[in-house]
Amino acid sequence: MILVTIGSLLAYYFWPSKKLPKEARIDFIEVWKSKRKMDVFGNGKLLKTYRIALGKNPGGRKEFEGDNRTPEGSYLINARNPNSKFYKNLGISYPNESDLRHAEALGKPAGGDIKIHGLRNGRGYRGKFHRLKNWTAGCIAVTNSEMDELFESVTDNARITIHP
């Protein structure tokens, strides 16, 4: 039984995922928090689905800075950083006006710095195992090889919608 478990874990870790074509251009990203998946589209066509990790407190929308929740709503990819402490990242335009009003009503700062990113530098060896729990401070995490694909393929100002 132990050998079967070890074999299954190794197969999960090393089984190659479908690669995004190099010429792909992603102009829309759709995240489904409850399913922990992220679909990417180019010209209305589904190009690939990624398995993701979210904020440590994934239930509900992000309400304020430090709540460890991933936002919900419509945003843009508005930045890219090839030298992040989490491998590479793509910036999400959180907070929007609605997020700011909501946080203000709570008397708290909305926060910001929400990204799609890879694994913390020096911990890329975790690979797909990072998905076994939600661990970010509110960001969306993928493996480093997946982040390479996204970093090259996501267009500037691509739309992203994050659903519950």
d(CA 162, CA 143): 19
String of DSSP letters for 31-96: EEGGGTEEEEEETTEEEEEEE-B-BSS-SS---STTS-----EEEEEEEEETT-SSSSEEEE----
Please indicate whether residue 102 is annotated as part of the active site: no
**Whole-Å CA distances, 41 to 28, 63, 73, 113, 151:** 5, 28, 17, 24, 14
Please indicate whether residue 130 is annotated as part of the active site: no
- Residues labelled as active-site residues: 117, 139
